[in-house]
Structure 1
Amino acid sequence: MEPDKEPVSAFDVAREAGVSQSAVSRAFTPGASVAVETRERILTTAEKLGYRPNPLARALLRGRSNIVGVGVGDLANPFFVQTLQLLADALDAAGLRLMLFPAQGGSQAEPSVSEILHYRIDALVLLSVSPSSDLTEQCRRARVPVIHFNRTTPARDASCVVGDNSTGARAIAAHLLAGGHLSLAFIAGTADSSTNAEREAGFCGYLAEHGAPPPIREYGEYAFEQSMAAARRLLLRKDRPDAIFCANDTMAIAAITVARHEFGLDVGREVSIAGYDDVPMAAWPGFALTTFSQPATQMVEATVRLILALRAVSDGHERVVCPGELVVRSSTRPVGRGSCPRR
C-alpha cells in the first residue's frame, strides 16, 4: 500500500514553472498583476500537478476566514430550514461561506464554544438558540460578532434580527375576535423563548384590551408530537375553546391534524386554528392555515448586512425588527366585510 502523498503546494508549482511563490499566488487572485504568459504557464503547471489553492489558508493570511458560523437548535422546524437556504445563498452572493454548528438538545443548548472558535469564523449567527454567558464572553474576547436571529437578548451590546412578534400576535387576536370567537386558547412554544413570550404577550394583551377573557394555555414546545398532545388536552375540555392560536406553524399544523382527524371537527367553522411564520406548508390546501408571516428574506438580508458591518467594527450592535403581515386562509372562521382577504 502506497503511503499517503502530501498535497501539491504552491511551492511545488512555483518550482516546476520556474517562478516565485508570490507569482503563483497572483495567478490565482482575480485582478492581480501578472504577465499573461506567466499566468498561463502557472495555470498549466498547476493543472498538470493537480494543484488547487486553499481558499481558507489564503483568507486567513488576509486576517479573515470568510466563514460565518450558524448555530441552530431545531432543524425540524421548516422556518429554520427555509432560513438556512436563504442565508447560504445570501452569504454566497457576498463572498462568504456558511458553516453549520448544530446545537444538540434544541434551543435549550448551544454549539460547542471550542468548536466554533477553532475555525476562526468572521461572525456567529444563532437561529433561536439561547447562548450562555460563557459563549457570549468568549466570542467577545475573540472579536467574533454574534447576531441573534429570531430571538432577542437582554444584553445591551448584542445584535439581533427579529420579526414583529407582538404586532403579529395582536393581528391574530383581532382576526379571531372579529370572527366572533368567545373562548380562545394559546399553544405556547418553550417557556424561555423570547419569541414565544412576545407572541403570548401581544395576543393576551389585545384580548384584555378588548374585554375578552385570557386564553387557556398549553405548551407544545415548538414540536409536532407535543403540540398534538396539547391540542388533545384542549379539545377534550368541557369548556373546549372555539379558537386556538399556536406560537408557530408547526404547532398549528399539529393542532389541525388532531382537530380534523381525531375529533372530526370542521376546522375553520367549528374551531379556528391560527399559526405564526407562514412556512410553505401553511399554504398547502390540506391545511390552508391562517398565520402571520415572518419575512424570512428580509430578515436574512438584514442579517447579512449586519455581518458585513460588524466584520469591520466587531464591537458594534444593532436591533432590527422586520414587519410581516397577516395571511388569512380557511383554517379560521370567516369574518364580515373589511377583514383581510382569504388566500
Structure 2
Amino acid sequence: MTETNTPVTALDVARLAGVSQSAVSRVFTPGASASKRTISKVQAAAEQLGYRPNPLARAMITGRTRIIGLLVAYLENQFYPMALERLSRVLQAEGYHILVFMAENHTEQVSEVVKQLIDYRVDGIITASVGLSNDITSRLSALGIPVVMFNRGQDDDALSEVTSDNIAGGRRAAEFLIAAEHERIAHIMGWQGSSTGRDRATGFRLAMEEAGRRPHALVDGMYDRQTAAAAARDLCRAGAGKRPDAIFVGNDHMAFAVMDELRFGLNLSIPGDVSVIGYDDVPIAAWPSYALTTIRQPVNRMVAATVEALLGHLSGDRTPRKIRIDSPLMIRGSARLPKGEGR
C-alpha cells in the first residue's frame, strides 16, 4: 500500500493494473461483467494502492446507490429482528447495502422517515409492519423508488406485499381449538389497525361461525405485551365456568405475556386450565419454558419472496405482487390436543 495523502483514484488503479478506467469501474460495480483475469488484476492493484471505490461517485454515474431502505415500526416482537437479519443477509448477497430506519405507525413520522430515505437516494424500500399514506406512495412512484411491504398489506393495488396467509392461519388456530373440544374460545387480537391483525381475526371468526360457535371474547391486544397481559387477566378473573378455556393470541410476542400472566399472575395451568395458541413461531416459542403451540410464519420463504419482488421491480417489472404464503400449525405443549392426536 502506498503512503500518500493524495486520494487514490480509479485511474491510478487502471494504470497499475494495465486496464482501462471503465474496466476498474465494472469490477467494482455489482452486477457488471468483467473477466476473471481483469478482476484479479484490478483487485491486486487496488489492494496495493489502498483504493476504495466511492459509492456516491458511482451512484452519480450509474444512477443507483445499491442501498435499500428497511423501514420497521418496532423491534420488541422477536419476529422482526429475525426477519430483518435475514432480509439484510439476502440483500447483501445480491450486492446491496442496508439502511435501517425506525418509524412508529403514524402518518407524520412515517412520512418524515421516508423523506430521509429519499434524501439518501435509496434504490428501493422494504417496509416491515409500517403503513404508508397515499401521498407518500405516489411520491415514491413518481421518483421511481419501488416499495415492497413485508408482513403487512394495504388497500393499495399499486403496492407489492408479502405476508403469510393470515386468514388461513387464524382459521387453522380456531379449528384446532374447536377439535380439542374447548367450550369458551377467546381471541386476543393483533392490532386491528393492521392488516395482519384484522386478517387473523377474520380467519378465527370464520372458523367459529362455520362450526356454529361464537367467540367467548374478542379483545384488541394492540400487539403490545402489557395490553395483552391485562386482557388475559381481565378475561380469566372469572370463575372456572366463565373464564375462557382457550385463547388464540394474535402473535407470539403477546402470547408469552399471556402465558406469564396466566401462570404467575393468576396461578392457572397451561393447558390444564387454559390452552394458548400464538402466531409467528419465533425461536423462543420452542423453548421448554413456553413450548408454545403456534402458527409458523415461514420467514425464509417470506424473505425470499420479498427480495425477489423488489429485485424484479428494480429491473423494470413494476407489476404489483400480492403474495400469501401458507403457515403451518406447530403443535407443542401449550394447547390441549384433539382426542386421538399425539404430539
In the superposition, the TM-score normalised over structure 2's length comes to 0.87
Q: Aligned partners of 2:132, 2:27: CA distance in 1, in Å?
A: 43
Pairwise mapping of residues 1-343 of structure 1 onto structure 2 (< 5 A)?
A: 7-10=7-10, 21-22=21-22, 24-25=24-25, 28=28, 32=34, 39=41, 43-44=44-45, 46-47=46-47, 49-103=49-103, 105-106=104-105, 109-110=109-110, 112-238=113-239, 239-313=242-316, 315-337=318-340, 339=341, 341-342=342-343
Between the two proteins, the alignment pairs up a number of residues equal to 332
> Quick one: percent identity of the two aligned structures?
40
- Which stretch of the first structure deviates more once superposed, 54-63 or 175-184? 54-63
In structure 2, relative to structure 1, the CA distance for the partners of 1:179 and 1:99 (3 Å cut) is same
- Which stretch of the first structure deviates more once superposed, 60-69 or 156-165? 60-69
Alpha-carbon contact 2:161-2:323 (below 8 Å) kept: yes
Q: Aligned partners of 1:210, 1:35: CA distance in 2, in Å?
A: 68
CA shift digits 1:1-21 (9 cap, x unpaired): xxxx77544356568999874
1:326 aligned partner, one-letter code: L
In structure 2, relative to structure 1, the CA distance for the partners of 1:59 and 1:235 (3 Å cut) is same
In structure 2, relative to structure 1, the CA distance for the partners of 1:27 and 1:169 (3 Å cut) is closer
User: Offset at 1:277?
Assistant: 0.8
Structure 2: any 5+ residue segments left out of the alignment? none
2:63 aligned partner, one-letter code: G
Q: Aligned partners of 1:55, 1:183: CA distance in 2, in Å?
A: 59
User: Offset at 1:86?
Assistant: 1.2
- Which stretch of the first structure deviates more once superposed, 226-235 or 287-296? 226-235
Alpha-carbon contact 1:183-1:241 (below 8 Å) kept: yes
1:57 aligned partner, one-letter code: A
In structure 2, relative to structure 1, the CA distance for the partners of 1:107 and 1:229 (3 Å cut) is farther
User: Offset at 1:107?
Assistant: 7.0
Alpha-carbon contact 2:281-2:296 (below 8 Å) kept: yes
Q: Aligned partners of 1:64, 1:26: CA distance in 2, in Å?
A: 14
1:73 aligned partner, one-letter code: A
2:99 alignment partner, SS class: strand
Alpha-carbon contact 1:150-1:163 (below 8 Å) kept: yes
In structure 2, relative to structure 1, the CA distance for the partners of 1:34 and 1:268 (3 Å cut) is closer
User: Offset at 1:81?
Assistant: 1.0
2:328 aligned partner, one-letter code: E
CA shift digits 1:10-36 (9 cap, x unpaired): 356568999874465466568536987
User: Offset at 1:191?
Assistant: 2.1
Q: CA RMSD in A?
A: 2.6
